[in-house]
Each structure stands twice: as C-alpha cells, then as structure tokens.
A = this chain, B = another copy of it.
Amino acid sequence: MSMHLNAFLLGVGHHEAAWRHPLTDSARVTDVRHYEELARIAERGRLDSLFLADGLALSGDVRYNALGGLEPLTLLSALAAVTEHIGLIATVSTTYNEPFHVARKFASLDHISGGRAGWNIVTSAGEAEARNFGLERPAHSLRYHRAEEFVEVALALWDSWKADAVRNDRAGGRYADPAAPIDHTGQHFRVKGPLNIQRSPQSRPLLVQAGSSEDGKEFAARFADAVFTAQQTLGDAQEFYADLKRRLPAYGRRPDELKVLPGISPIIGVTERDARRLERELDGLTIPAYGLRQLSTILGLDLTGHPLDGPLPEVPLDTDGQQSRVRLIRDLSVREGLTIREIINRLAGGRGHRVVAGTPGQIADQMQEWYENGAADGFNIMPPYLPGGLADFVDLVVPELRERGLFRSEYDGRTLRERYGLSLVEAHS
C-alpha cells in the first residue's frame, strides 16, 4: 500500500508572493513548457496525479499576483501528449456548464491520456463567476442540487456506449452496436444522449471533490473517488476523515472507496534554518493590501480600515459562500489568537491549507503521522514556488517516504482509477 500524492499546480507557486521571489520566473504562467516541466518532475517522482484548480473569473487582483493562466482542460490535454503515467485532474464547474459538453470533454481527455483523466467537481461559489454567464449566483444548496443531477447525467452519458459496442467488423460492414439514448429529464437538465464519443479507457474519470460543507460531504460520500481538503491540525483532519468515511455505507460504498487527501504546502530546506529563511523571504514579499482583499473576499466581509495588527472581527457564517474556508479561518483566529496580519501571512502560504516548513525528514514525519493516524490516505502537495518547490519535494521528500515504505517506487496500474486503488467501473452490457 502506497499513500497517494497529488501535485497541485498553480502558476509559479502556491505562495501568493511566489511570483516576486528570485526562485521563480513569473513570465511563465501562460507558458505550456512550464507546465510540461512540472508534469515531468511529478512523473519522475511517480506521483499519482497532478491537479489544476479553476475559477470562471479572475480569482484576485492582477496588480498584485500572477493570474490569468491557462484553462485546465486544454492544458491537461496538452500535458497528456507529453507524459505517460501521471493522472490529470481538471477542475470544471457544474454550475455554469452543460453535462453533455463536460462528459464529452472528459471522455476525450481520458482517451487522449490512455485512462488518466480526473474531474474535480466544483459548484463555483464566486459572485464574479455568475456575472460572466448573465446569472445571479445560485444559493449554496441549489448549486449542490444542480451538481448532483449534473453528475447523474454525466454518469449516464459515460455509460451510453456499452463496453463491447465497437465491433469494427470491416468485412461484414458493422462498425458498432448503437449507443443508447439516456432520455434524462430532471429539474435542471433534459438530455437525450447518447454521448457522441466512444467509451473511454476508464469509462469515467476519477471523480474528485473538495467542498467541506454538509452538502459537500454528502455529495462526496455519494460520488467522489477522492477528496481534497484543507485541514490545519491532526485532530481536525482525523475528525473530517472519520466523518467522511462514516457517510459512505449509506450509499452502498466501502470506506476505502473514497481517498482523503489534505493539502500540504511544504517549505523544504536542507536544514530547518534554511526552510525558515525561505518561509520568511516569501512572507516578506507579500503585499498586505492584496492579502486583506483576498481575506475580505473569502469571508464575504470588507476588512478595509481594520488595523492589520488587531484581531479579526466577528465573522458571520455566510451560507452561500465558501463555508468551510470561513470556518477554518475563524478557528485559526480563535485557536491561535492571530492578528489580521498574521492570518494574512498564514493564508499567503496555502490559502488555508497547512504550511509545513522543515527538512525533508521533518516533512515526511508530519505526513507519516497523519497517514498512519487516520487523518489522510495521501496528500495534495502544494509547492510554495514552482518548479523548484516541486522538484525539491520529489527529489528530497519522496525518497524519505520511500525509505519508510510509505510510497511507491514504480508506477503500477494502467489507469488513474487503478492507481488510486479503485476498481474500474463495470460496464453494463
């Protein structure tokens, strides 16, 4: 058994000041060769997969961060062509898309990659995203209802071609048995089907989800093969892990059919002092006005005018926003008594995900502790700067994990689903 490691790629790094650091080249955020290099590094480390987050509007102020990079499905299709083994997980929203398009594009990516496609299903919490589609942002629960029906339709479309449909009988003049219409009629969608692309190697992509709200957890328990989550402490992570796994039997699923991957942003140094220095350098490059604006957006609360070195004011839980992220920030503020500036610095490293600065051994220790104590089936690796931060993880931390018998040395399994220890979907026939 190997833990699962996913490389979460984001421009020139997860630290919001990465673009200003001499270890990065921020002209590369729209350069496909940058991402090809990252994919090759991740594959060299035998990581399970790489992952691209996404939003349908700019996610921050371009004055202060290197935003405006490539679209996930097009980028991952390009990376599929230059890699062999690594899984390719794209974020696509169910709120501003049509299931026919999305099911088809993932089937296409799955064919192109030889069975390495994954879909991180999001419901798009942002106001700015709605306005790019002429809509008001739907309420949280409505977004999840739509997401459920969306995935049901996609699953039906992926099953519309039987596994043995293609006969390819050239002499007899019979190419395939007809795919079946799905004739879906629901609250949000009417879709006739069948899909106009043949069944792909995995039948369906790996399904990933990252919401931690009550709706999000139920959705994950029903549909997800893997969950990305932001957890700051071992206790919180254990609670989240157990909570999710407990929900699976109600959907006829075994606990090991869903893998939980907390995020971790490893700041790696040969010595602990090196790691701390790098962390200080990065934090020193953050732009407070930017951090304050990002924090205000996440909380749905304008913090302009609040003293940076004072405490965070009382924050209401906006049920239409990023509930789980708001709760996490409130907990940080209360548990550790942080000032607004300290919270901004903490978020700058990993936007609420855990930042761990230390030697490769210390980072491996932390990962081992969570992995062996019911807090994680693996990790979502969020290098603070790229590509160097990923290269250091692969070249320094991964060998530590291997020595401890925690991580694979070679790829096994043909598809991404197999790599995550999931059975291939049985084709109806």
Q: Which residues of A contact B (CB under 8 A)?
A: 19-20, 26-27, 29-32, 36, 55-59, 61-71, 73-75, 77-82, 96-98, 100-101, 104-105, 107-109, 111-112, 128, 131-134, 161, 165-166, 168, 170-171, 173-179, 189-198, 200, 285, 287
Contact = CB atoms under 8 A, between A and B. Distances in A.
A62 B175 contact: yes
Listed residue (A73, A132, A179, A193) with the most chain B CB atoms within 10 angstroms of its CB: A132
Contacts of A101: 56, 96-97
Contacts of A77: 73-75, 77-78
Contact of A75 (B69, B108, B133, B166): B108
Identical copies in the complex: 2
A19 B167 CA distance: 12
A68 B176 contact: yes
B194 A58 contact: yes
B64 A173 contact: yes
B197 A69 contact: yes
Contact of A70 (B64, B67, B78, B112): B112
A71 B128 contact: no
8 contacts: A27-B168, A32-B112, A58-B194, A69-B198, A71-B105, A78-B80, A78-B112, A79-B81
A165 B196 CA distance: 40
A103 to B, nearest CB: 10
Contacts of A67: 175-176, 196
Nearest to A20: B170
A356 to B, nearest CB: 26
A313 B310 CA distance: 84
A108 B178 contact: no
Contacts of A105: 71, 73-74
A57 B132 CA distance: 26
B178 A63 contact: yes
Contact of A26 (B112, B131, B170, B178): B170
A196 B79 contact: no
Contacts of A285: 173
Given A32-B111, A133-B100, A161 B68 contact: yes
A280 to B, nearest CB: 17
Given A19-B170, A112-B75, A133 B63 contact: no
Given A77-B75, A197-B70, A178 B61 contact: yes
Nearest to A287: B173
